[in-house]
Structure 1
Amino acid sequence: MLKGAGAISDLQRLTVSLRGGYEQQPQCLLFSFTGQLDAYSDKQFIEFVSGHLGEVSRPVVLDLSRIDFLDSSGLGALVQLAKQFQQSGHNFLVVGNARVVQTVKLVRLEEFLHLQPDLDTALGRLSAA
């Protein structure tokens, strides 16, 4: 595992049900979230990620491995961010747990979202690129 890789411990409250944080890793900008990504938190999720991209040209990793619940609004937020990343030229990967992976695969978005099974795999893919 790369030095500094892993869950971000200091997460700020975005909504009652969603917490998020970010840090610059050597090879990416890593966002980490915990809680629920749903109709009550999708706007704050998008604003949080978009607001911290700035002029960063490095790849983005969205770590959703600690998300307990993902609904259609959360999926819509991920699609909206993916389109934003593509338009701005950012490479990106989404890391999910079993629940997130199942939901994303149900709507066949795993390739579009560059879904990865865990953070180590995602960071390994960035290092190999």
Structure 2
Amino acid sequence: MRTASVNIKWTYPPPVVSSDEQERCGNATFAVRRCSPTRTAVAVVGEIDAINGRGLGRYVERHTRASRQLVLDLRAVDFFGSQGFTALYFISVQCARSDVDWVIVGGPPVQRLLAICDPEGELPFAPDLGSALSRLDRLAQCGLHVVWSGRCGWRTR
């Protein structure tokens, strides 16, 4: 994997601790931002396919070890293949093992694949960044660690 610098414009608040890192993998660029001591955002630009699906999962795994919450921003993804779904499943397992609350924000390519591969809505998808952040804020305020249980909502772990 090559590391390249790509200009990603964050629509998320500036980080409390600067720990930005970018990585180019296939036709995608992954970037991480530490938004607060407990929240990390990972943004993806480009295409997620068989070449870089596993790389996405590993990148997220490396950058969520010290976090309690993760925003996976896939809004700038132009193509999201089946390996992307495999990466999301891997991320879900890693977040569950590490007690990390997380949410996916994605555009039409991600929504299309989730409609096919996750028809019950088991993965924590939010239609926009505002609702994703609100969901994570509510979880943090409640002090509960919960897991997404599909379209029916959240359940306590």
In structure 2, C-alpha distance between the alignment counterparts of 1:13 and 1:30, rounded to whole Å? 14
Equivalence for 2:30: 20
- The one-letter code of the counterpart of 1:61 is V
**C-alpha distance in 1 between matches for 2:68 and 2:60:** 14
> Is residue 96–residue 118 contact of structure 1 (8 Å, CA) maintained in 2?
yes
Moved more, 101-110 or 78-87: 101-110
Q: Which residue in the other structure is 1:81 paired with?
A: 91
After superposition, residues 1-129 of structure 1 pair within 5 angstroms as: 3-4=13-14, 12-26=22-36, 28-54=39-65, 56-108=66-118, 111-129=121-139
Superposed structure 1 runs of 4+ greater than 4 Å apart = none
Q: Find the structure with the greater CA-based Rg.
A: 2
Deviation at 1:15, TM superposition (A): 1.7
| Cα displacement (A) at 1:110 | 6.4
Matched length = 124
Shift of 1:34: 0.6
Q: What amino acid does structure 2 have at the position aligned with 1:17? A: N
Distance 1:37 1:110 in 2: 22
| CA 87–38 in structure 1, closer or farther in 2 if over 3 Å, else same | same
TM-score calculated relative to the size of structure 2: 0.70
Identity value in percent = 27
Q: C-alpha deviations, 1:25-74, integer Å up to 9, x for none?
A: 136210000111110101211221111223x1421110001111111111
Residues 12 and 19, structure 1, Cα contact 8 Å, conserved in 2: yes
Cα gap change, 1:110/1:22 in structure 2, threshold over 3 Å: closer, same or farther? farther
Q: Distance in 1 between matches of 2:76 and 2:115?
A: 18
Distance 1:2 1:38, change over 3 A: closer
Using structure 1 for the length normalisation, give the TM-score: 0.84
Deviations along 1:59-90, one digit per CA (max 9) or x if unpaired, are 11100011111111111111011011112211
Across the aligned residues of Structure 1 and Structure 2, the Cα RMSD in angstroms comes to 2.2
